[in-house]
């Protein structure tokens, strides 16, 4: 797509700062979103969808400013129509025209846009929509309808794609079906995406930046890896979701079949299927899967023991420096005292289990 291609590698910045009052809820939303996938995360009713509606032009806030790539969408003097904002939207329900075929639905928003015919073929191929083109929405599965809805949003020539809980109405099988397409959209099209969700697994697989919301306000925003490894912020994603998201590079395969990885804190071994040397992975290490030892442990069945340094201690979570990255360990107050853990303490992290996320 001509327009989408222009954004490959671009550092788009969405600037949002607005206030709006509803009966029982006062919104005060402010954040900036760089390129990649920015997830708006929080419990139901916290204002995520309202924020999306304000950005897309479906709601006029009481006051504030919203700008996309420096172009003002809304402020005290300007309030661009949804069509003029160049924002493609995908909602929980696909909102396809039931009397039109999938092909007609795809072409509807782009029927007057230059280059749309060329983009049509590319999007159909990328989302594997060819077999669906002659069918009507009523004959498609939930996952198939959402793929058509994504294609339709892309064919509108957007500068930003907004997705409001696009998997919420799907069962687990349909979610598993469509998630790889969302990852492909993120990695191949590289169109900036604002993704609303209250699902931690979705955020972990897709997001690069997270905006945490609660009771109508943004409590924090930043890179996903930083939030996951922050002992104060990580619990907002769920008590058992605190941990780390670190990068690793495949170095090779050991004689016993284990994969050897290079990380910022040293080598690790994983029983993964054959992966080519040089492949970059994202490793998820949960805080409750990490044990700390002040001295280098001996005689353990655990394969991965990494030298780390304590950077913060907050309640039952200890933040650790792993080279230039951060991870967490969940420990008891008794263990913090017994090990004399404090910022600057050197110790060893014994990693019991690791998950590999799609990179």
Please indicate, yes or no, if residue 292 is contained in any of the structural domains.
Answer: yes
d(CA 286, CA 243): 4
The tally of domains found in the chain comes to 2
**Domain shared by 146 and 29, yes or no:** yes
Cβ-in-10-Å burial (0-12, 13-18, 19+) of 173 comes to exposed
**Domain shared by 201 and 255, yes or no:** no
**Domain shared by 217 and 313, yes or no:** no
Please indicate, yes or no, if residue 234 is contained in any of the structural domains.
Answer: no
Residue 223's SS3 state is strand
Tokens of 345: 């303490």
Instruction: With CA atoms as reference, report the closest residue to 278 among 256, 261, 255.
Output: 261
Structural domain of residue 160, as residue ranges?
A: 2-228
Is pTM beyond 0.95 here?
no
d(CA 313, CA 212): 22
Contacts of 296 (CB under 8 A, 6+ apart): 305, 348
Q: pLDDT in tens for each of the 359 residues of the chain? A: 333 333 333 455 899 999 999 888 899 999 999 888 999 998 888 999 999 999 999 999 999 999 999 999 999 899 999 989 999 999 888 889 999 999 999 988 766 566 666 788 888 988 889 999 999 999 999 889 999 999 999 888 899 999 999 888 888 888 888 888 888 888 887 788 999 988 888 898 899 999 999 999 999 999 998 998 899 888 888 767 888 899 999 999 999 889 999 999 899 999 877 788 999 999 999 999 999 999 988 888 888 999 999 999 998 899 999 989 999 999 999 999 999 999 999 999 999 999 888 66
**Domain shared by 329 and 201, yes or no:** no
Asked if 231 contacts 271 with a C-beta cutoff of 8 angstroms, the reply is: no
Walk across the sheet containing 304-314 and list its strands: 290-293, 346-351, 304-314, 317-322, 325-330
Q: Which residue's structure tokens are 């280098």?
A: 296
């Amino acid at each position: 797509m001509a327009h989408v291609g222009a954004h490959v590698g671009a550092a788009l910045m969405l600037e949002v700062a607005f206030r709006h009052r509803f009966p029982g809820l006062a919104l005060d939303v402010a954040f900036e979103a760089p390129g990649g996938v920015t997830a708006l995360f929080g419990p139901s009713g916290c204002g995520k969808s309202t924020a999306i509606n304000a950005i897309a032009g479906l709601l006029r806030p009481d006051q504030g400013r919203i700008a996309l790539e420096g172009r003002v969408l809304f402020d005290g003097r300007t309030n661009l129509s949804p069509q003029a904002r160049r924002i493609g939207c995908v909602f929980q329900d696909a909102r396809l025209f039931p009397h039109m075929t999938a092909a007609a639905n795809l072409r509807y928003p782009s029927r007057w846009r230059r280059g749309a015919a060329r983009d049509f073929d590319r999007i159909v191929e990328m989302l594997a929509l060819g077999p669906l083109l002659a069918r009507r929405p009523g004959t498609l599965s939930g996952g198939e309808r959402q793929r058509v809805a994504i294609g339709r949003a892309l064919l509108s020539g957007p500068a930003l794609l907004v997705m409001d809980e696009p998997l919420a109405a799907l069962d687990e099988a349909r979610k598993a079906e469509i998630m790889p397409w969302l990852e492909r959209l993120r990695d191949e099209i590289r169109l900036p995406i604002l993704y609303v969700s209250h699902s931690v697994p979705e955020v972990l697989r897709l997001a690069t930046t997270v905006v945490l919301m609660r009771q109508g306000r943004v409590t924090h925003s930043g890179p996903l890896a930083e939030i996951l490894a922050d002992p104060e912020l990580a619990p907002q994603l769920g008590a058992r979701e605190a941990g780390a998201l670190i990068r690793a590079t495949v170095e090779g395969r050991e004689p016993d079949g284990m994969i050897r990885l290079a990380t910022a804190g040293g080598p690790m071994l994983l029983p993964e299927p054959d992966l080519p040397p040089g492949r970059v992975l994202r490793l998820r290490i949960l805080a409750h899967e990490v044990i700390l030892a002040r001295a280098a442990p001996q005689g353990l069945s655990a394969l991965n023991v990494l030298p780390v340094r304590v950077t913060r201690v907050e309640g039952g979570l200890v933040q650790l420096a792993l080279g230039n990255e951060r991870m967490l360990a969940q420990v008891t107050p008794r263990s913090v005292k017994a090990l004399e853990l404090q910022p600057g303490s050197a110790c060893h992290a014994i990693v019991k289990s690791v998950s590999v996320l799609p990179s």
